[in-house]
Chain A
Amino acid sequence: MSGNLKWIQFKKDTFYIYKKYSEGIVYSPLQGKIFSVKGDIRSDINDFITSRGNIQNSFSTELKKSGMLDQMDLPKLPKLKSYKPNVVMLSLSNICNLRCRYCYVGDDNSVVQLPLETIKIIIDQLFQYATETSMDKVEICFHGTGEALTQWNKLVDTVNYALHKKTENTKIDFSLVTNGTLLNPERAEFLASHDFFVTLSMDGIESVQNEQRPQRDGSGSYRYAVNGIRYLVSSGVSFVVRSTVTGKSIHLMPKFVNLCAKLGCKQISFMPFSAIGRGAVGIDSIDPHLFIKSYLKSKKISKRKNIYLSMAGTDINKVNSYYCGAVGFNCVINPEGLISTCSRITKKSDQLAPIFIIGRVAERGFSITEEKRLRLSKLNVFSFQECRPCFAKYICAGGCPHDRLSFANENLEYWCEIVRNLIWYDLCELSQIV
Chain B
Amino acid sequence: MTFVNCRKLCKHSQGKDNILNIYELQGKEVIKMKKEKKRTYYGKIIDIPIKKKSYSCKGDKGCSCDSMCRDCGSQVSR
A residues touching B (Cβ–Cβ < 8 Å)?
30, 32-41, 43-44, 46-47, 50, 58-59, 62, 65-67, 85-87, 89, 104, 137, 139, 141, 143-144, 173, 175, 177, 197, 199, 201, 238, 240, 242, 267, 269, 271, 274, 310, 312-313, 316-320, 322-325, 329-330, 343-344, 400, 403, 430-433
Is the CB of B73 closer than 8 A to any CB of chain A?
yes
The secondary structure that dominates the A interface is: mixed
Q: What 17 additional pairs, Cβ within 8 angstroms, besides A143-B72, A175-B74, A177-B71?
A: A35-B42, A37-B40, A59-B40, A87-B78, A137-B56, A139-B58, A141-B76, A143-B74, A173-B58, A199-B72, A238-B60, A271-B70, A310-B73, A317-B48, A320-B66, A430-B46, A430-B48
Nearest B residue to A84, CB-CB:
B78
In the complex, the chain B residue whose C-beta lies closest to that of A85 is: B78
Cβ of B30 within 8 Å of any chain A Cβ, yes or no, is no
Asked if residues B47 and A324 are in contact (CB atoms below 8 Å), the reply is no
Complex CA gap A41/B41 in Å reads 10
9 nearest A-B residue pairs (beta carbon): A39-B40, A36-B43, A197-B58, A312-B68, A32-B48, A177-B72, A38-B41, A269-B73, A32-B50
Q: B51 touching A33 by the CB < 8 A rule?
A: no
Interface residue ranges, B against A (CB under 8 Å): 1, 3, 20, 38-51, 55-56, 58-60, 64-74, 76-78
Contact call B76/A32, Cβ cutoff below 8 A: no
Minimum CB–CB distance for A266 against chain B, Å: 9
Q: Is the CB of B70 within 8 A of A199?
A: no
* B59 in contact with A197 (CB, 8 Å): yes
Residue among B43, B70, B71, B78 with the highest chain A CB neighbour number at 10 A? B70
Task: Tell me how far the C-beta of A307 lies from the nearest C-beta in chain B, rounded to whole angstroms.
Answer: 13
> In the complex, A410→B60 CA distance in Å?
34
Chain A residues with Cβ below 8 Å from B43 are 35-38, 431-433
Q: In the assembly, what is the distance between CA of A328 and CA of B3, in Å?
A: 46
Complex Cα distance A83/B67, Å?
Answer: 16
Q: Which residues of B contact A199 (CB under 8 A)?
A: 59, 72-74
B46 to chain A, nearest CB (A): 5
The residues of A that contact B66 with a CB separation of less than 8 Å are: 320, 322, 324-325, 329
| Residues of chain A within 8 A of B76, CB atoms compared | 87, 139, 141, 175, 325
Query: Could you jot down 12 A-B contacts, CB within 8 Å?
Result: A32-B48, A39-B38, A43-B3, A46-B1, A46-B3, A144-B71, A173-B56, A175-B74, A197-B59, A317-B64, A318-B50, A343-B71
Chain A residues within an 8 Å CB radius of B42: 35-38, 58, 62
Nearest Cβ on chain A to B6's Cβ, whole angstroms: 11
Contacts of A320 in B (CB 8 A): 66
Interchain CB contact under 8 A, B40 and A319: no
Q: Are A33 and B67 in contact (CB under 8 A)?
A: no
Is A137 a contact of B55 with CB atoms below 8 Å? yes
Contacts of B44 in A (CB 8 A): 35-36, 431
Q: Output the least CB separation between A115 and chain B (Å).
A: 23
Q: Which B residue's beta carbon lies closest to that of A46?
A: B1
Chain A residues, Cβ within 8 Å of B59: 197, 199, 240, 267
Please name all residues of chain B whose beta carbon is closer than 8 Å to the beta carbon of A201 when the two chains form the complex. Answer: 72
